[in-house]
């Protein structure tokens, strides 16, 4: 079993839709949780990070962590075609990051 | 924000040759850098952790004699793929920590696509 599981998609939504991206993890030692966005043929860029359980909002993006169920979510409101990318979740224990496989999102105009 | 630069972004080489990829932190000092490999439609696979002034720590299954990592300064780490073969063709990405990992301050380079003919 992978430490971080993520549905690979692709997830196709119409422009303006609310997108929900999810991950599950198994490592109880994870304390920080990150979401990265990766455009095709580019390196990942950090979108958001959260510490322990709770919500964090940044513009159209909301990250949610439920440590009791080991569930991580990223919500995108008013999705745009420019949001089309692969979204990687990751958990951090100490100095190491463990990534999920990524979910490919396609937002159609 | 912090920027990590990777060079070259794309390289094609013949089988048996060696290729060097550079990873630079442009506006911060990075005591720790990471090298990843990513196959198409797959996640990042950590290859090694590079610490300035010391030997890299390789993940299980990664050949340290094939993937030479040098972290000679606080702003530069290099990955050399020695005697490259077609199966080494992949997307190689580096990342660097600005500050402590705990706060998510990990920045990625743009990646280097290696094609071995």
Cα–Cα separations (whole angstroms), residue B103 to A3, A16, A32, A51, B94: 20, 31, 7, 8, 19
Q: Nearest-CA distance from A15 to chain B in Å?
A: 23
Decide: helix, strand or coil at residue B103.
helix
Contact A75, A89 (CB under 8 A): no
Phi, psi dihedral angles at A31 (to 5 degrees): -120, -35
Partner-chain contact B110 A92, CB within 8 Å = no
Q: How far is CA A72 from CA A12, A47, A102, B25, B103, in A?
A: 20, 14, 13, 30, 17
Residue B98 has pLDDT above 80, yes or no: no
Tokens found for residue A50: 């959260």
Please write the tens of the pLDDT for every residue from B30-63: 888 999 998 877 778 889 998 888 889 999 999 9
| B102 to A101: CB separation less than 8 angstroms, yes or no | no
What stretches in chain A show pLDDT beneath 70?
1, 94-95
- Residues A74-105 have pLDDT tens digits of 999 999 999 999 999 998 876 677 888 899 99
Cα distances from B115 to residues A42, A51, A85, B6, B17, in angstroms, run: 16, 39, 23, 16, 12
Q: What is the pLDDT of residue B2?
A: 61
Q: Which of A32, A43, A101 sits opposite B42 (nearest CB)?
A: A101
Residues of B with CB under 8 A from a CB of A: 4, 6, 32, 34, 41-44, 46, 49, 91, 93, 95, 97, 101-104, 106-111, 113
């Amino acid at each position: 079993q992978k430490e971080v599981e993520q549905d690979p998609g692709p997830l196709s939504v119409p422009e303006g839709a609310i997108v929900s991206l999810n991950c599950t993890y198994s490592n109880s030692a994870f304390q920080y949780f990150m979401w990265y966005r990766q455009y095709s043929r580019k390196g990942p860029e950090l979108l958001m990070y959260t510490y322990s359980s709770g919500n964090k909002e940044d513009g159209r993006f909301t990250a949610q962590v439920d440590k009791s169920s080991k569930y991580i979510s990223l919500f995108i409101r008013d999705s745009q075609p420019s949001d089309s990318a692969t979204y990687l979740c990751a958990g951090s224990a100490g100095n190491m990051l463990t990534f999920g496989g990524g979910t490919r999102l396609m937002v159609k105009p | 924000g912090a920027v990590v630069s990777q060079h070259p972004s794309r390289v094609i080489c013949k089988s048996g040759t060696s290729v060097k990829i550079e990873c630079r932190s442009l506006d911060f000092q990075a005591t720790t850098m990471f090298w990843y490999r990513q196959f198409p439609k797959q996640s990042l696979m950590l290859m090694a952790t590079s610490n300035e002034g010391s030997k890299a720590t390789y993940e299980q299954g990664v050949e340290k004699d094939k993937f030479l990592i040098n972290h000679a300064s606080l702003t530069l780490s290099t990955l050399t793929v020695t005697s490259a073969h077609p199966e080494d063709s992949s997307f190689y990405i580096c990342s660097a920590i600005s500050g402590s990992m705990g706060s998510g301050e990990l920045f990625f380079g743009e990646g280097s696509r290696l094609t071995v003919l």
